[in-house]
Amino acid sequence: MSDEGVAGPLSGVLVADFSRILAGPYATMLLADLGAEVVKVEGPKGDDTRTWVPPARGEVSTYYLGVNRGKRSIALDLREEADAAAAKELARRADVLIENFRPGGLDRYGLGFDAVRAANPGIVYASISGFGSGPGRAVPGYDLMVQAMSGLMSLTGDADGSPYRAGISVFDVMAGNHAVIGILAALRHRDATGRGQHVEINLLSSALTAMVNQSSAYVAGGVVPFRMGNAHPSVFPYEPLPTADHELIVAAANDGQFRKLCEVLGVPEVADDPRFARNQDRTARREELRPILVERLATRGALEWFELLVEAGVPSGPINTVDGGFAMAEQFGLDPVVEVGEGARATPTTRHPIRFSESPLTYRLPPPELDEHGAELRKWLTEPEDDRG
């Protein structure tokens, strides 16, 4: 079933993907980019995100297209005996199984961890849930809920305004990344011991670790953080500041960078002012310092300041729309768009962020149509198992 002539660091690893929507499909797409063979198992109606429009490319949801390249699709109704048998055979042959049903949800079909491990002792079985397999197992896990329940929304928005969600499903993406890390570590363990294991990832734990300094403020310092708009609780300047035309991100995060900022702005004496000499001083007196910086920034436009500050080694950047973000990545030579498939199936997708000096990434298959590979996979699953070495 493998693609001839295509290799990657995970070449030969078979992934049975029983996940849907975002966290799981994002993880399995990353694994496919790394060379794994991914079989996407969908219900008869397909992944929910197939219907999440607008926007769409033709009649296909761009949401679905964004996280499903590199996979083969088979539609299975696990309530039907023949389809359940195909799913079990796929799990028996797989190196990795990933699922994001409610905890225990696959047990009823004979596809829970214990059942799969009994037939396939080397399986790396990854489960993604909202709130773990303990008391929170019955609570559905959607990213918006976790943004609210974790405390992130309490940190996002104007200080005197309402809480806001992030503009993307940030914790689904975090959980997907954590799933990949856990799977790769478990594969390494299997290589050393021959034993598979159950890898569990939940969105709430992913959220709490992803809030890093804000989480540590509470855990280590007993401080409950609060909304500060675009300001940083521990560093200044580290936020958008107005210029002659548009706002510009200025991130002078240490004393040396602040001195360079003052030199570029033409006020080197400000860096020597004892009120602003150290980061803790600048942070405590940000309302005194901000007007001084804003007055100087008002003399030029954002892009002009961006070029001058970057040349001087001061972190800064314009506030782009998404198209501007892609344009800047192109400008920096990052080639952010990769086209997958050919002819009418050619689909632009966002390039995998990791680059290797030795192991190639693979962009073999466009996001599949529902059950596009069903006949091929059913035939393969009823034949003697391939020797994958």
Written as tens digits, the pLDDT of the chain (389 aa) is 555 455 799 999 999 999 999 999 999 999 999 999 999 999 999 999 999 999 999 999 999 999 999 999 999 999 999 999 999 999 999 999 999 999 999 999 999 999 999 999 999 999 999 999 999 999 999 999 999 999 999 999 999 999 999 999 999 999 999 999 999 999 999 999 999 999 999 999 999 999 999 999 999 999 999 999 999 999 999 999 999 999 999 999 999 999 999 999 999 999 999 999 999 999 999 999 999 999 999 999 999 999 999 999 999 999 999 999 999 999 999 999 999 999 989 999 999 999 999 998 999 999 999 999 999 999 999 988 754 44
Where along the chain do its domains lie? 14-210+337-382, 238-331
CA 33, 337, 366: angle at the middle one, nearest 5? 50
* Predicted local distance difference test score (pLDDT) of residue 389: 40
Coil, helix or strand for 353? Answer: coil
Short-list 7, 17, 65, CA closest to 39: 17
Selecting among 48, 172, 245, 255, the annotated active-site residue is: 172
Architecture of domain 238-331: 2-Layer Sandwich (3.30)
- Distance, CA of 340 to CA of 65 (rounded, Å): 11
Sequence-distant (6+) residues with CB within 8 A of 328 are: 320
* Predicted local distance difference test score (pLDDT) of residue 314: 97
> 140: cis peptide before it, omega within 30°?
no
* Predicted local distance difference test score (pLDDT) of residue 385: 75
Burial bucket for residue 66 (CB in 10 Å: 0-12, 13-18, 19+): middle
Backbone phi, then psi, for 169, in 5-degree steps? -80, 75
The class level of CATH for 14-210+337-382 reads: alpha beta
* Predicted local distance difference test score (pLDDT) of residue 7: 79
Residues 127 and 133: beta-carbon distance below 8 Å: yes
172 is catalytic: yes
